[in-house]
Structure 1
Amino acid sequence: MDPFLILLHSFSSSLSDGELSSMKFLCRETIGKGKLQSLRNGMELFSILLEQHLIARDKVAFLQGLLKSIKREDLVSQLQQFVEEGEVNAPDDQPDVHERRLQKAAIEVICENVGRDWKMVMRKLGISEVKMDRVVAANPFNLREQLAQSLREWQKWKGKDAKVTDLIKALRGCNLNLVADRVEQELSLLNAGTR
């Protein structure tokens, strides 16, 4: 199945009636009034936009404008993620609350203690050179932010499969055992409820 159509389908099911009406109103100049009145859901609107070549997998500016106009920043960011990575992580593909707390604590410790070796750690986690280069370009003089952004990229990429144990394993794989020990210590404090 086409990932772009899957994305549009998920957008359609998350639109309220009011949001759909707003989008239809905004499309009055591009789609005839008669056609617009007969539309019952987002999928029908997206189908017409696809037919008229106003939106496509590699042409999302019109759709982005519509979503921004109805103030659905969550959908705009999903669309941007799709454009950047060619894929979509569904909201149910996120780690549970406990794992996110652990990740946040681990990332804090890693950012404080891993310096210039951060790329080696990211390679162990499977992040591509292209993504790392993009992060460096966005934060050219801030080593800590480069690492933090790269770790966020890893979290987005892995979704619910992003585990703190993978972070510790990557650190140990890079012989950063002291940092790995500090992460484990922080996590045991968190799990014991003293933090």
Structure 2
Amino acid sequence: MDPFRALLNSLSASLSDMELRDLKFLCQDKIGKRKLESVHSGRELFSFLMEQQLIASHNVDLLKSMFEVIKRKDLISRLEQFVEEGEAVPPDEQPDMNERRLQKVVIEVICENVGRDWKMLIRKLDLSDVKMDRIIAANPRDLREQLFQSLREWQKWKGKDAKVTDLIKALRDCNMNLVADIAEQKLSHQNTATI
């Protein structure tokens, strides 16, 4: 069973008739009037949005913004959890579990220890300025969240090619050797703890 379709089915069951009407109204510029009139459930609406390629397991931004308008933060949380748990990326494109665990450790160290120079680090990881600008706009006053979301975007973009060694190398290339040392020290503790 497709996990994304299962999620959409569950989200559909959580919508009231009034919320479905609101969502249909928000989709008037994306789905034809005749099709919208035939929609009687969230599941049908989501199917049309998938047909139009406006939503997909790796692209839930439209759904999140629609749920924001109807003030359903709980549904936004479920979407974000789906993305965080790696369901948004095809399994063969994800790093293995051990690599993801190590990445989490290094990302925590980076977020705790890299300050205003975070953009230099993200550029070393080859994430585009456009993506960084979008992340900054979404988190205008939270430097740490900007860094964290940029690193998450890098992970999604690289998929199974996202490596801890790339993070360490980027830190060293930016002369953030102390942060790289802390990260390597935490990694060695992680490795000895799992043996």
Aligned-pair Cα RMSD in Å: 4.6
Taking structure 2 as the reference length, the TM-score comes to 0.60
Equivalent position of 2:133 in the other structure: 133
Equivalent position of 1:57 in the other structure: 53
Equivalent position of 2:182 in the other structure: 182
Residues 15 and 176 of structure 1: is their aligned pair in 2 closer, same or farther, counting only changes over 3 Å?
closer
Instruction: Report how far residue 115 of structure 1 moved.
Output: 0.8
Specify the SS of the correspondent of 1:193: helix
Q: Which amino acid aligns with 2:52?
A: A
Structure 2 unaligned runs (5+)? 14-19, 25-34, 68-73
Specify the SS of the correspondent of 2:147: helix
Instruction: Report how far residue 92 of structure 1 moved.
Output: 3.6
Pair 1:120-2:116 in alignment: no
| Partner Cα separation in structure 2 for residue 144 and residue 160 of structure 1 | 25
Residues 107 and 15 of structure 1: is their aligned pair in 2 closer, same or farther, counting only changes over 3 Å?
closer
| Identical pairs, percent | 56
Describe the superposition over 1:93-130 as per-residue Cα deviations: whole angstroms up to 9, x where unpaired: 22222111111110111111111110011001111111
Kept in 2: contact 1:125–1:170 (CA 8 A) = yes
Question: What does 1:84-103 correspond to in 2, within 5 Å?
Answer: 89-103=89-103
| Partner Cα separation in structure 1 for residue 105 and residue 161 of structure 2 | 17
Q: Which amino acid aligns with 1:119?
A: K
Instruction: Report how far residue 75 of structure 1 moved.
Output: 9.8
Aligned positions, number: 160
- List 4+ stretches of structure 1 deviating above 3 A: 26-32, 57-61, 71-77
Taking structure 1 as the reference length, the TM-score comes to 0.60
Describe the superposition over 1:31-57 as per-residue Cα deviations: whole angstroms up to 9, x where unpaired: 49xxxxxxxxx9xx95xx58xxx9523
| Partner Cα separation in structure 1 for residue 167 and residue 178 of structure 2 | 13
| Partner Cα separation in structure 2 for residue 31 and residue 174 of structure 1 | 56
Kept in 1: contact 2:55–2:63 (CA 8 A) = no
Describe the superposition over 1:118-150 as per-residue Cα deviations: whole angstroms up to 9, x where unpaired: 001100111111111112122222221111111
Structure 1 unaligned runs (5+)? 1-9, 33-41, 81-87
